[in-house]
Structures are given as structure tokens and as C-alpha cells.
Structure 1
């Protein structure tokens, strides 16, 4: 590597506190499209690891995402190596491939359909307005804690039938699980979520009525006569709440930051919200890259960009770098609604592991910003954002905003 990248490891927690980490990825894309990274012992991973390859260019990340035969998910999608049972609990169907993955995904697709999401629109709008109206008369707020912090969480919890009293603890667990993805603390949080899900499932009947809840429908759904066990559904429950809460929160929060940095782009959207909403949401997800990576494992020796990847080596796909690839997205640092139909890697780069919740995430982002612009049209960032220190979720801890106060009676 060049001198300023010598000894750099993308497994080092200190890297994720650097303000220039996007420049690090830009240099890797230019000079080292396939690079080896050691896994030293750190506070995050006290035992260290055996090291991994990193793919950072868009074309390589997308190609590897689509090629499960060569770059498989069934040995873990976390950077850290785990025992098989831990791997199963932590990732669920993320850590599957082939027929097993197809069966689980097909069953979920029977229940989490675009029609299901569309029927949720009014409920999503209700939660968005509640989150915005509760601070509308203040004039200033923390966008992450006060506006969007529990917005996706409430929607996911209602979908899954989580009682209101249980939701704060579940949200806390998802934050722990994702901020330290792959660590012992994160694994403990996921175990607690799985145990909680099994408690909920014991309350669900075996023969759901037509208006039954999501979990009951999952229990009843079958593909070729096969269904998911309650344990498998509990693991999926953990995956859905972790993926569906923090990542959408991140997209909306980082989206607000992006819109503040590119005010002309924001004005265009506010002037033609419905006309630009679809491409605006996709560009926000690209700009944000809420999930920054997933890992694969090479199933055989392969040479890529002159580097020999051995069978069994870990290969990490950096979506945050793919979405900043200058050869695909000119001036990638800009929020640009004129990029056309170019597919970003924000939902996983395509292939069999494309994000199951993408339809719901798009709906939530679209509805939230529509309500935000209607109720607080001049809301803007008023202070420095505080990033979440994580190598997995590109989140924000805090984002100060200010706006012209409005009383609730005026906008209700």
C-alpha cells in the first residue's frame, strides 16, 4: 500500500472515528481494489481474527453479491468468525445459501408483500406525523433523538405485534446489536431479542384468521409443504427488527443531513415532491449507505485484480465504497437527483440476498419526508452532526435542527 495506508485495517475501530474515511475508500478504489486487512485484537473484538480481503469498487461488490457459488454467505456475513450456532442466531437467513435460503426467503415473501406494505401507508403516515408534531412548537430539536429515533421502530413493532410497553427495551437492544455488529455484546442483544420473539410466538394460534397478524401468518405460511419453525421465525424476527429499525432511521437522518448540504436539490424536491420522490429516496440510500458492509467466504481459489484469494478466505463487500465509486457515480459526494436509473448498492448489491425490507424502507422514507416538508417546511441542520461509531451502520447519534415553530392545532 501507499505510505499513508500502510498498516491500515478496516477492522480497526479507530478508522471509524476518522473524518476522512471516505477518502480512505477512494484511495483503496484507485490503488488497491482488492486489499488484505489484518484483524488485530481491539476493544470490539478482544480475540482478534484471521484477516480478510476487501472489495471496494462498485462492479466487484455487485458481482460478488450476485455470485453465491463463488462468494457464499453460509459461513457468516459478519467480519468476525463465529461458531455455527452463533452464526445462525446472529444472521438468520443472511447466513444461508442455496435451498435453505430460498425456502426461508420465499416464505417471508408470501407475507411481507408490496401489498402488505401499501396497506400500512396510513399507519406509517400517522407515526410520522406523531413524531414531527411532538416537537413542532419547539423551534429546535435533535433530529435523531426527538424526531426519527423511534419512527421506524414503532412501525416494525406494530407489524410484529410488539406491545407498546415492550418497545423501548427492544429498540435499545437493536441499537446494541447493530452499533457493535459481530461483537459479544451485540450477540447477547440478539439472543435476548430471539428469546423475546419466542415469547410472542407462544401467544400466536396455529390457525390464523384472515385478519391475523404478521407472526401468525408466518407460522402458517408454507412452501412445498414446508413451513418455518417457531425458532426460525424468532431468528427472523431478530433480523427484521435490527435491519428494519436502525437502518431506516439512519437513512432518514443522513438524508436530512444530505438535504441540508445540498439546498438546491432539496428545494427541487419540495417543489415537486411526488415527481421526484422515487429517485430522491434511491439517491438518499446511495448517499447514506446505511449498511456499510457484509462479508462472504470464497468457495475456491480465485484471482482478482492480481491478488490471489484462497478458498476459505473471508471477503468483505464494502457497500459504502461501492456507492462512492467515481467511475459509476460522478461526484459521488453530491446528493444528485439527476443520476437516472443507475442501481446503487445500498440494499445489498443485488442477487439472492437483496434486502427483503427494501419496499418497506422506501415507503417509510417517502412518507416521513413528505410529512416533514408539509409540517416544518424550513427545517434545517443547525449544528454539527455526531456520527455513530460503528463499522457496520453509517448512523448518527445526534443531528441538531432548527425550524419555525408551529402549534399542533395549526397543522393537525
Structure 2
């Protein structure tokens, strides 16, 4: 058996991610070791360590693996850490399914996430964007993440779920704990609390006890059928927990990081603000590519696979590094730059690289981002970043904890 090639470092090392994505290491791997083996030593993140994993870092390989669920399965989890089966289901729900089970869930949920349904959400998304901006409009300085965007996507998801206003702060707090822990025992415990709460909402909707006009998604979700089958209240609860954790952090991250990116490339912001509607579709895609809010997901090999002169064994963990694929210079010219007028025949992989697990919430995220930036440009045209961002310490979410800004009033 050939010894797996290791690069002399491991992407499981927290020190590589102190200042955001480990692009230096990922650049090296794309050029020299497109398939590499990484150990999982004991770290502050995961004291017990792990059994190691393969890394795919090129756009072409990530896209191909994403489309091949028969070989690279999500069924054993999309988290780096190995979890018991019950934790796998609680953490990711539909993300951690494959085959017929995943197809059934996706078919039912897809009945809800239609372009028509999402289009009807535009007025309430606009209302939440305006409320968020109003909080800082009369200030001289503010924190983009804490003061402006932190709860914007959360309020929209809570509207769809029919979450009472008084319950929202605690639910949003729990979501933050679950995301920050990412695979730890505390995170799992918090996820079960979110699932329990969401399951209760589903049970009320199924019994006809949810009357709020805003709980549109929840009512449709408990009533949706495919081939005579509906989701159980437990399954609805897990899906809503996924919607909360996935939708809140990724959208807030994309907006915050997107505003920071435009501070580095101000000409892009100026051009977009001058012709917002026509540039918006490409600008949103470019921001999502540049940011790549979820930096990786895991797959598990279902058979032995030969790639790049090495053998991935059945049962091995394989990480798809989306943050690397979206910086692949063979696909995106000057990939490190933000360019709203980028010409590329290849789509970015930030929404999952295509295939059966392409992000169901992509259209909602695009709509939220577009509406938020339009409102921001109109209400605070002189808002600017005033200092360096404080980054989340993670190799999973490319997030910001803080981003100091000014409204430009002074």
C-alpha cells in the first residue's frame, strides 16, 4: 500500500486559520499536491484528534466530487469530525443524507423554495434591511457585524418559521453557540435545543395552531407532500434548525465580508452603486465567490478511488475545500481580486459545486444580499470601513466577528 502524500502541515491546525483562510497553504496544494493527506492531531478545537482526511483543492476536482454522491457520500456527515449517527442527523439533517432519503427530503423542501415563493418575501426582507440600517443611521461609528447585520437574516428565517418576537433573541443566541462550537459537545447540545424548539413549532403548525401570516414556510413545509409522503415533525424540526444555522451565519458573513471587500476595491462599489440593478446579479455571485462563507464540507468515500497517483480508500474522509476552488487561478483570472465584471464560463463552488447537494437556500441568500446592499447604498452612501476586521477563528466559516465602520455623517 502506497503511503499517502502529506504536505508537511495539516489544514486541521488552528494556527493556520488565525487570519482567515489559509490561502498560502491552499495555493501550495493546488499547485503541487492537488490531493494530499492531513493528520488530525489533538488541538484546542478537537482535543481528541481524529483519524485524518484527504483534501481536494482544485476547482475541477471539487466540482466533480460534488456531483458524484455515489462515490463521495454525505451520508456519514459533512463535518470534519466523526460523529455518532444520531449526531450526524441532528447536526446536518438533509445535508447529511444521500440516495433516496436525500431525494425525498429535497423533493418536499423544493416545493417550498420556489422562485415565486421567494419573490413574495422581498417586501419583508426589505423591511428588515431598513430596520437594521435605521439602528446605525444616526451614529457616527458602528460595528458592521454587531450593530448592523448580525440579526438581519435571522429575523427573516424567524418570520418564515413563525417564531414569536419574544423568543427570537434566545434562539439567535443559541444559533451562535452552535456555530461557534462546530462539532463540539456544547455545540451538539445546543443544536438539540434548537431542534426541540423547531419541532414544537412544526407540531403547532401541523395542528393548525400557527395563525401568523408570516409563518408561510412553516405551514407549507408541514403540508407539503411528494408521492403521498410528508416530513415528520422531527424532520421538519431538524430542517428548520439547519435553515437557522446555515442561513443566518452564511448570509451575514457574505454581507459583512462583501462590504469589507468593497473597501479594498472601492471602484467596484462605485460602479455597482451607480447602476445597481443591472450589476447586482454578477456582483452578488462575485461576492459569494470572493468570500466563500462555508470553506469546506466533508464527504466519505464509498469505494477505493484512484486520483492524482494516490488511492483514497473506502471509508476515508475527503474534504472539499470550496475556499480553495474559488481561488483557483486556472479558472478565475486574478482570483484574489474582487471583480464584478469577471468573465468566467465556470461557476464558483461556494454553494456546493453543483450536484444533488447544491445549496437549496442559494436563491434566498442572493435575494437577501441584493436587497440589503441596495438599501445600504441608498441610506448610507458614505458609509466606510475604518479599520481592520476581527475574524472568526475557524477553518469552517469564513466569518467576521467585528468590522469597524463610519456612517460618513461627520
Q: TM-score, normalised by structure 2?
A: 0.95
**Which residue does 1:116 correspond to in 2?**
117
Q: In the alignment, which residue of structure 1 is the partner of 2:41? A: 40
Which of the residues 323, 326, 330 maps onto 1:323?
326
Name the structure 1 match of 2:13.
12
Quick one: structure 1 residues 361 and 126, their matched pair in 2 at CA, closer, same or farther if it must change by over 3 Å? same
1:134 aligns with 2:135: yes
- For 2:392, the equivalent position in structure 1 comes to 388
**Counterpart residue number, 1:215:** 218
2:368 matched residue in structure 1: 364
Q: Secondary structure at the match of 2:306?
A: strand
Structure 1 residue aligned with 2:268 = 265
Instruction: Give the stretch that moved more between structures: 177-186 or 59-68.
Output: 177-186
Give the drift of 1:355: 0.3
Q: What RMSD over aligned residues (CA atoms) do the two structures have, in Å? A: 1.7
Maintained 8 Å contact 1:206/1:216: no
**Alpha-carbon distance in 1 for matches of 2:33, 2:41:** 20
Offset at residue 294 of structure 1 (A): 0.5
Confirm or deny: 8 A CA contact 2:296 2:320 kept in the other structure.
Answer: yes
**What is residue 185 of structure 1 aligned with on the other side?**
186
CA distance in 2, matches of 1:193, 1:32: 40
Farther off after superposition, 166-175 or 321-330: 166-175
Q: Is 1:275 matched with 2:272? A: no
| Cα drift, residue 214 of structure 1 | 1.9
**In the alignment, is the contact (CA less than 8 A) between 1:347 and 1:354 conserved in 2?**
yes
- Deviation of 1:372 after TM superposition, in Å, equals 0.3
Number of residue pairs matched by the alignment: 402
1:228 to 222, 226, 231: 231
Contact residue 161 and residue 201 of structure 2 kept, 8 A: no
Alpha-carbon contact 1:206-1:220 (below 8 Å) kept: no
Alignment partners' CA distance in 2, 1:164 and 1:71: 41
Q: Is the 8 A contact 1:140 1:403 kept in 2?
A: yes
> 1:402 matched to which residue of 2?
406
Runs of 5+ unmatched residues, structure 2:
1-5
In the alignment, which residue of structure 1 is the partner of 2:107? Answer: 106
Query: Which whole-Å CA distance do the structure 2 matches of 1:324 and 1:294 have between them?
Result: 16
- C-alpha separation between the residues in 1 aligned to 2:366 and 2:51? 37
SS at match of 1:281: helix
Superimposed CA distance per residue, residues 26-58 of structure 1 (whole angstroms, 9 cap, x where no aligned partner): 111111111101111122212211100000000
Summarize the alignment of residues 271-350 of structure 1 with structure 2, pairs less than 5 Å apart: 271-340=274-343, 342-350=346-354
Deviation sequence 1:343-367 (CA, Å, 0-9, x none): 1011011100000100100000000
Gaps of 5+ in 1: 407-412
Compute the displacement of 1:342 (Å): 3.1
- Any idea what the Cα deviations from partners look like across 1:72-117, whole Å, max 9, x if unmatched? 1111111111111111111101111111101101111111221111
Q: How does 1:30-179 map to 2 (within 5 A)?
A: 30-179=31-180
Contact 1:293 1:317 in 2 (8 A): yes
Q: CA deviation at 1:191?
A: 0.8
Q: 1:240 to 1:258 in 2, by over 3 A?
A: same
Separation of aligned partners in 1, 2:103 and 2:206: 26
Distance 2:38 2:175 in 1: 28
Distance in 1, Cα, partners of 2:283 & 2:19: 28
